[in-house]
Structure 1
Amino acid sequence: MRDWLVHIRRNEHASLQTQIREALVSAILDGQLAREEPIPSTRKMAKSLGVSRNTVVLAYQGLLDDGYLMARERSGYYVSEKAIETAAPPKLAVKQGHAAPSIDWSRRLTMRPAAQANVSKPLDWQSYPYPFIYGQVDHNLFPLAEWRDCARQALGKKWLGSWTNDTWAHDDPLLVEQIRRRILPRRGIMANDDEILVTLGAQNALYLLTALLVSPKTQVGMEEPGYPDVRNIFSLSTPNVALLPVDEKGLVPSDAFNACDIVFTTPSHQFPTTVTMPLERRLELLKRAARHDVLIIEDDYEFETNYVNEPCPALKSLDDEGRVVYVGSLSKTLFPGLRLGFLVAPANVVAQARALRRLMVRHAPNNNQRTAALFLSLGHHDTLIRRLHRAYRSRWEVMGEALNRHLPDASRVPSFGGTSFWVKGPQRLDSDELARAAAARGVLIEAGRIAFGAPEAPRNFYRLAFSSIDESKIEPGIRILSELVGR
């Protein structure tokens, strides 16, 4: 039974009986009540509305007489079949006495993120024979049994309170400990618990930092080409977004860098070109940042997928002044649907980010936090990283050979490893058109135009990822792509 359908206003010109009748008729005609659906009893309706039972009885009797309701002995009132058959389709029904909505919502909106150019990927990417799609995982490589075991432990009675309770602004202490002891030291970062905040993925961390640090007057710098989502996040807060050039060593030190208040960079594995910033370039950027009072947001993008060279220390680990804020993610190595990331910053910054996160989402789901913490503590994450390194290294080599054979001189082999190649097509090529033509042949690629912020940016770049494609499919997919490029 539904006792929420009727709402009456005692100061209305219509009588209470009439209001009850009109509300029920509208619910029936709008399709809110299904065929033979029970209606609250007169006693229950009267109590719910705070009116006399006689008022409800009279309203129901009128609806019985008009064929909207039918009564069943010892059962109650129901919507009649006749009323349903004569009712208008729900989408076409118009409530009597109510005007069509007239609010101009576009005038009320203070921002329009839907109008921005955003990354778009098909949800059914697994149905394509050749999915060179970035950011997804190969389910065959994921240790499902181990993750299930950690989830079973996390959801057991022993830790019932740790995931059923509302922990307000606090994070799972076991996950924070694992980030502090297992993940950050690999990047040369030492941090206290109060300098770490768990977020809903790296993107949530970037949004929090933007909200706290960027005002309409702030001069923000980011790599060009660069991460389109962070460019959109910055653009919602300030019109002053400088596009800083990238070369074969990553972000270029320049006067434009010096003029910024905040700079976003992906030094370990530049998004999307895949170049890795060498140590000397990192040190130079830090010197410039200190000299010109520039804050740096370091997105340590794909830091766990370095299977080619020795890892270079994170910018954060080289920072002696506390001007680098570090952003990391567990979703890249575990699975993107997990939505767990973290940021590392001075304690006073983390305290503000924690308070802001609480206002937005309170905290990341406790069950996911505890499961991920157990997965890390039991060594399953390290085992997964080794498995991914073996698989990715092999695919990296196969893709490099296939590109060299079918699209020679179109890309450089990522020296870091990672999960993708950044490819430059002929000058005449429009990668958006190529992506559409390739999809029709079962090949999914990512057009590169979205990675550029400049209005007159090149259109002949595109990205090919190999994290979610079977190794045997790489060469045939590249061959099809070369045929389309050569047309």
Structure 2
Amino acid sequence: MSSPRSTQWAQLLALPDQPALPLQGRLRAAVVQAILDGRLGPGAPLPSSRELAALLGLSRNTITSAYLQLMDEGFLEARPRSGVFVARDARPVAAAPAEPLVGRSGQSGQPPDWSARVLRSLLDRPTLAKPDQWRSYPYPFVYGTHDPQLFPTEDFRECCARSLARSQLPHWTPDFETDDVPDLIEQIRTRLLPKRGVFALKEEILVTVGAQHAYYLLAEALFDERKFVGLEEPGHPHARNSFSMRNPRWVEVAVDEDGLVVDALPAVDYLYVTPSHQSPTTTTLSLERRQWLLRKAELQDFVIIEDDYEAENLYQGTPMPALKSLDKTGRVIYVGSVSKSLSPALRLGYIVAPRALIAELRATRHAMVRHPSAFLQHAYALFLSLGHHESHARRVNQAIQQRLALAAQALQEHLPDFEFRMPQGGASLWVQAPAWVDAAELALMARSHGVLIEAGDVFFATPPYPCPFFRLRLSSIGASHIPAGIRALALAVEELAQARGEARPRAVRPH
């Protein structure tokens, strides 16, 4: 029978649930947490390696190695013939709470009114959002995570390990100031861009912390309240919100089944466009419209910001050349991503533009974040150079193509009165519900059935009501869950119809 002391130690130093860490690392984390929480104070004795090994079911070598590492890091200290103790200065000294300021009237000072002081706020602007615990929903048709079945764990781990080799440290550990890791610039220049028909000098490429960072940099350098900026309607809400920080004058540009309606384009200074797979409708801008758009940019003297959104996700036909590849006068600024298909959390993108603008953006980026992680840049350069990026993209395309087919079949079966077009690429379906459906209301109803969808109103600068559009994103949900997810969505539609008193066509049920 275990003693109370043994039980206390077993509870205090229970290994955290971090399977990615080895046992020694998990034990070190448990000890450090107990020290920082104040549960193990300075000078507190720890169990011997033999005793703790028996309590936790670990080897004495694991305990000893963890203790030695914690001694090297200053958390523990050994005393001759006494044992192991918490070091006297292991826990940082907390600052004493300050006395409240008292004014001449004897009243305590009031905190600032931040709502009055903040000059540029995005809190009230619509954007793509998910509930806090969205990963616990069984049917997440939303953007936001990597696919554990597709993530190239071994390949990416190999590249990270190689970057940490001593011989590679000089390639990414120095302070790069305004520069980027040359290996990544070269991979972008010679491997990624030529696939889109784009050929650029190294001085014309800037690495960013994802595409959204690129939007913000461009807005900071180019926009103010006098500039007219054209955006697709519906369009990409993240670009709209990043651009809005400089308060330009918005110009809504219509989108149809062939992409941006170039003939209807009003006068603008800048035009943001997603020609490869329009966000959110997934349509591809035709070659004729691309050529006419470039000609209009010359005639009307405006600049195009091309976001080559999901250009690598192509399932049929031949790749449409990027606008940048057709640009002969330097009027196209190209925004791309190197990490989106791998994981949105990696945050690596880039801008291709004339060198004069890139030089300005480098200085702006330096003032903001200096430069994106050099380690990540170097590791991803290896990932590209070893061919892992291409093989991963092929696997992703095959998987998403399968998921699109499953989602289309399930929609036709369970929601036959909902309309959509199969995209040529990308990782989502843009769905139009019957006119009586408001997708934001449907999205709330669907949550109770475990389903998350992206309501379409967030993609519009001036959304209609009811807004019957929504996006089904397929990058965060496994293929096996898609049919059940659409069935659950159909149940939510039935509930919404009952609440609204609407009659619906009966869905086709499987035999």
Shared fold by TM > 0.5?
yes
The amino acid of 2:358's aligned partner reads V
**TM-score normalized by structure 2?**
0.75
Residues 253 and 160 of structure 1, relative CA distance in 2, 3 Å threshold: same
Of 128, 150, 163, 2:137 maps to: 128
Match of 1:325 in 2: 333
1:298 & 1:347 partners in 2: Cα distance? Answer: 17
Of 459, 464, 484, 2:492 maps to: 484
Aligned length: 405
Match of 2:218 in 1: 209
User: Taking every aligned residue pair, what percent have the same amino acid on both sides?
Assistant: 47
State the 1:145 CA deviation: 0.5
The amino acid of 2:419's aligned partner reads S
Does structure 1 retain, via aligned residues, the 8 Å contact 2:411–2:418?
yes
User: Are 2:405 and 1:381 equivalent residues in the alignment?
Assistant: no
The amino acid of 1:152's aligned partner reads A
Residues 347 and 375 of structure 1, relative CA distance in 2, 3 Å threshold: same
Match of 2:412 in 1: 404
1:103 & 1:445 partners in 2: Cα distance? Answer: 39
1:468 & 1:107 partners in 2: Cα distance? Answer: 39
State the 1:311 CA deviation: 0.7
Residues 319 and 155 of structure 1, relative CA distance in 2, 3 Å threshold: same
SS in 2 for 1:221: strand
Residues 160 and 441 of structure 1, relative CA distance in 2, 3 Å threshold: same
User: Are 2:277 and 1:273 equivalent residues in the alignment?
Assistant: no
State the 1:409 CA deviation: 5.0
Match of 2:207 in 1: 198
Match of 1:221 in 2: 230
SS in 1 for 2:149: helix
Match of 1:470 in 2: 478
Does structure 2 retain, via aligned residues, the 8 Å contact 1:222–1:264?
yes
2:186 & 2:290 partners in 1: Cα distance? Answer: 28
Residues 283 and 97 of structure 1, relative CA distance in 2, 3 Å threshold: closer
1:218-257 aligned at under 5 Å gives the runs: 218-255=227-264, 257=265
User: Are 2:266 and 1:262 equivalent residues in the alignment?
Assistant: no
Match of 1:176 in 2: 185
1:191 & 1:131 partners in 2: Cα distance? Answer: 39
1:307 & 1:123 partners in 2: Cα distance? Answer: 33
Does structure 1 retain, via aligned residues, the 8 Å contact 2:450–2:488?
no
Does structure 1 retain, via aligned residues, the 8 Å contact 2:212–2:242?
no
**TM-score normalized by structure 1?**
0.79
1:124 & 1:449 partners in 2: Cα distance? Answer: 22
Does structure 1 retain, via aligned residues, the 8 Å contact 2:275–2:308?
yes
1:57-456 aligned at under 5 Å gives the runs: 95-98=99-102, 99-255=108-264, 257-454=265-462, 456=464
State the 1:327 CA deviation: 0.2
SS in 1 for 2:279: coil
1:107 & 1:385 partners in 2: Cα distance? Answer: 47
2:338 & 2:417 partners in 1: Cα distance? Answer: 34
List runs of 5+ in structure 1 lacking aligned partners: 1-31, 39-74, 77-89
1:138 & 1:161 partners in 2: Cα distance? Answer: 33
CA-based RMSD of the aligned residues comes to 2.3
The amino acid of 2:406's aligned partner reads V
1:458 & 1:324 partners in 2: Cα distance? Answer: 36
State the 1:177 CA deviation: 0.5
State the 1:249 CA deviation: 0.7
State the 1:102 CA deviation: 3.5
Does structure 2 retain, via aligned residues, the 8 Å contact 1:249–1:278?
yes
Does structure 2 retain, via aligned residues, the 8 Å contact 1:324–1:345?
yes
List runs of 5+ in structure 2 lacking aligned partners: 1-35, 43-86, 89-95, 103-107, 498-511
The amino acid of 1:364's aligned partner reads P
SS in 2 for 1:223: strand
Cα offsets for 1:121-142 (capped at 9, x unmatched)? 2353332211111243311111
The amino acid of 2:183's aligned partner reads L
The amino acid of 1:282's aligned partner reads R
